[in-house]
Amino acid sequence: MAESHDAVEVIHAKRDRGTLSTSQIDWMVDAYTRGVVADEQMSALAMAILLNGMDRREIADWTAAMIASGERMDFAGLSRPTADKHSTGGVGDKITLPLAPLVAACGVAVPQLSGRGLGHTGGTLDKLESIPGWRALLSNEEMLAQLEDVGAVICAAGDGLAPADKKLYALRDVTGTVEAIPLIASSIMSKKIAEGTGALVLDVKVGSGAFMKSVDTARELAEVMVALGKDAGVNTVALLTDMETPLGLTAGNAIEVAESVEVLAGGGPADVVELTVALAREMLAAAGRDDVDPADKLADGTAMDAWRRMIGAQGGDPDAALPVAKESHVVTAASDGVLTRLDALSVGIAAWRLGAGRERKEDPVQAGAGVVWHARPGDEVRAGTPLFTLLTDTPDRFDRALAALEGGYDVAPVGTAFEPAPLVIDRVG
Ligand code: URA
């Protein structure tokens, strides 16, 4: 039983730039989860943390208190090692879909507890739910059985895992306190440590479409998370990857599933393939299996076999036609030239406004909605040819989506030199 404290005293301490004791943190997180500390008190503390920060010891204590608020899973009984990947969220970021079966095909089990999207970044579960029959909710026993049998599972995190984070994340979302490094790091790592994975690869996104807009803040977040993971016995590394430009050629739900299947079939956009293989290599190395090359498993079809079994095990039909939006609108290039910029945030907001994402947690998403872009930075475009296709079931959404795309891309004169930015910016670990 945690020593009792007074919420206002704890808030004062952080407001006045003090350091919270382990006992204060344990009590605050536990009392908030039990409803003894009120939402407005936790909001005030979250804002004080956002403004004044926390040191590494405080962040570790906060993470431990969130883990202690719920259950911990244990995969030690599986016949193969486990590795998970977490992305801090981006636009067109469908990497989990090809990655989980790819890593499973290489002999490492992937327990992926994922979330639904909120705001302009898509959610993995929303994407998979566009596959007819697929279900996100599994019991712990079903999850373990699928991990042993198929080697990969992507499902919703149960209510028992870090319930303090569920409550706090919802509060941060409506109080302007999401972007605090101590709170993001503890939120992500409490769930991943409680999930019980043996190894973890973090994909920390940097750029307009990400939480972290600069490489320096992304590196700081990555360093804090890697230290939290390692201290908890999880072999953790992080890649900092570009999110100035959206990934691949699609942002939406069904259209991102289709693009992921192309990658598993040995095709797909080069950047999606590159990042999938880079993250798979990191996961395999972290799990002690760097003797297998994931690129071979994409090429020989075994990753596709694992995908089909993974989808089928959760009731999905991997051969079923995916939902298609009822309406489409094409934006064409105004002149010949070179696409030199495609802004991830603009594309993400457009896809969200078309119905691919949700405004509030309880809103439904449209499976077929989203944005397809027909060129990537560096590609030549011709006047009158399609640049974007906007997809939705509700055409009154087109105007606001078009407004989001306005100013979100540049077409420079033919012959303009273009220097592509690296996709993987740095590695922390
Ligand atoms: N994802 C999470 O799970 N938590 C955060 O705080 C931010 C992103």
**What does the pLDDT look like over 266-305, one tens digit per residue?**
999 999 999 999 999 999 999 999 899 999 999 999 999 9
Is residue 337 situated within a structural domain? yes
Q: Is residue 225 part of a domain?
A: yes
Point out the catalytic residue in the list 127, 166, 172, 192: 172
Per the annotation, the verdict on 139 as an active-site residue is no
Q: Which burial class, exposed, middle or buried, applies to 55 when counting CB atoms under 10 A from its CB (0-12, 13-18, 19+)?
A: exposed
* 173 CB-near residues (< 8 Å, 6+ apart): 118
CB neighbour list of residue 417: distance below 8 Å, 6 or more residues apart? none
According to DSSP, residue 212 is labeled B
What backbone torsions phi and psi does residue 239 show, to the nearest 5 degrees? Answer: -110, 135
Per-residue pLDDT tens over the stretch 164-191:
999 998 899 889 998 899 999 999 999 9
Counting every residue written for the chain, the total comes to 429
Rounded distance, CA 53 to CA 46, Å? 10
Same domain as 309, residue 332: no
Which of 250, 281, 313 terminates a domain? The answer is: 313
Tell me, in angstroms, the distance from the centre of ligand 1 to residue 388's CA: 30
Write out the E strands in 140-219. Answer: 152-156, 199-206
Q: Does residue 1 have a pLDDT over 60?
A: no
402 in the same domain as 334: yes
Domain CATH code at residue 408: 3.90.1170.30
296-337 per-position pLDDT tens digit: 999 999 999 999 999 999 999 999 999 999 999 999 999 999
326 tagged catalytic: no
Question: Ligand 1 atom closest to Cα of 188?
Answer: 3
Average pLDDT (390-397) is 98
**Paired residues of 331 in beta bridges:** 388
Asked if the structure places residue 59 within a domain, the reply is no
- Shared domain check, 166 and 46: no
Q: Is 165 helix (H, G, I), strand (E, B) or coil?
A: helix
Judge if 233 and 292 occupy the same domain: yes
- Tell me the mean pLDDT in the region 349-375: 92
From ligand 1's centre to the CA of 24, what distance in Å? 23
* Cα(54) to centroid(ligand 1), Å: 17
Annotated catalytic residue, options 69, 187, 190, 260: 187
187 is catalytic: yes
Are both 102 and 208 inside the same structural domain?
yes
- Rounded CA separation 58/185 (Å): 12
C-alpha to C-alpha distance for 181 and 88, rounded to whole angstroms: 12
- Contact assessment for residue 333 and residue 146, using Cβ atoms and an 8 Å cutoff: no
- Structural domain includes residue 162: yes
In a domain, 87, yes or no: yes
Give the pLDDT score at 121. 75
Instruction: Output the furthest CA–CA distance in the chain (Å, rounded).
Output: 69
188 within ligand 1 shell (Cβ under 6 A): yes
| Mean pLDDT in residue range 351-358 | 94
Cα-to-centroid distance, 305 and ligand 1 (Å): 31
Closest CA to 21 of 51, 62, 49, 52: 62
Q: What is the pLDDT of residue 359?
A: 78
| Tokens representing residue 166 in the block | 């569920």
Nearest CA to 150 out of 29, 266, 308 is that of 308
Looking at the structure, do residues 346 and 308 belong to the same domain, yes or no? no
Residue 43 tokens read as 């909001």
Site to probe by mutation for ligand 1, drawn from 118, 172, 187 as the one with most ligand atoms within 8 Å of Cβ, is 187
Mean pLDDT of the chain: 96
291 falls within a domain: yes
- C-alpha 420/C-alpha 405 separation (Å) is 21
Residues 37, 155, single domain; the answer is no
CB distance 97 to 128 below 8 Å: yes
Q: How confident is the model at residue 383 (pLDDT cuts 50, 70, 90)?
A: very high
Do 90 and 222 fall within a single domain?
Answer: yes
Helix (H), strand (E) at residue 240: strand 235-242
Is 365 contained in some domain? yes
Provide the residue type at 166 as one letter.
K
The active-site residue, picked from 5, 14, 85, 86, is 86
Q: How many domains does the chain divide into? A: 3
| Ligand 1 atom 7: residue of nearest CA | 184
* 104 and 175, same domain (yes or no): yes
| C-beta 276 within 6 A of ligand 1 | no
Q: Is 115 helix (H, G, I), strand (E, B) or coil?
A: coil
Residue 94 and residue 128 in one domain: yes
Number of Cα atoms under 13 Å in the Cβ half of residue 61: 18
165 flagged as catalytic: yes
Range of the domain at 259: 83-313
Q: From CA 280, how far away is CA 267, in angstroms rounded?
A: 17
* 191 in catalytic set: yes
Of 254, 283, 313, the one marking the end of a domain is 313
For residues 146-159, give the mean pLDDT: 94
Read off the CATH number of the domain in which 104 is found: 3.40.1030.10
Q: Which of 200, 189, 194, 161 is nearest to 82 (CA)?
A: 200
CATH number, domain containing residue 35 = 1.20.970.10
- pLDDT at res. 2: 64
Taking residue 25's Cβ as centre, other Cβ atoms within 10 Å add up to: 25
Which residue's alpha carbon is at the smallest distance from atom 2 of ligand 1?
188
Q: Which residue's CA is the nearest one to ligand 1's atom 5? A: 184
Mutational pocket test of ligand 1: of 96, 113, 188, 203, the residue with most ligand atoms within 8 Å of the beta carbon: 188
Q: Are residues 346 and 289 in the same domain?
A: no
State the alpha helices, DSSP H only, in 265-412: 270-286, 294-299, 302-313, 344-351, 398-405
Instruction: Report the first-to-last Cα separation within the chain, whole angstroms.
Output: 35
- State whether 278 and 232 are in the same domain: yes
Residue type, 74: D
The reply to whether 74 falls in a domain is no
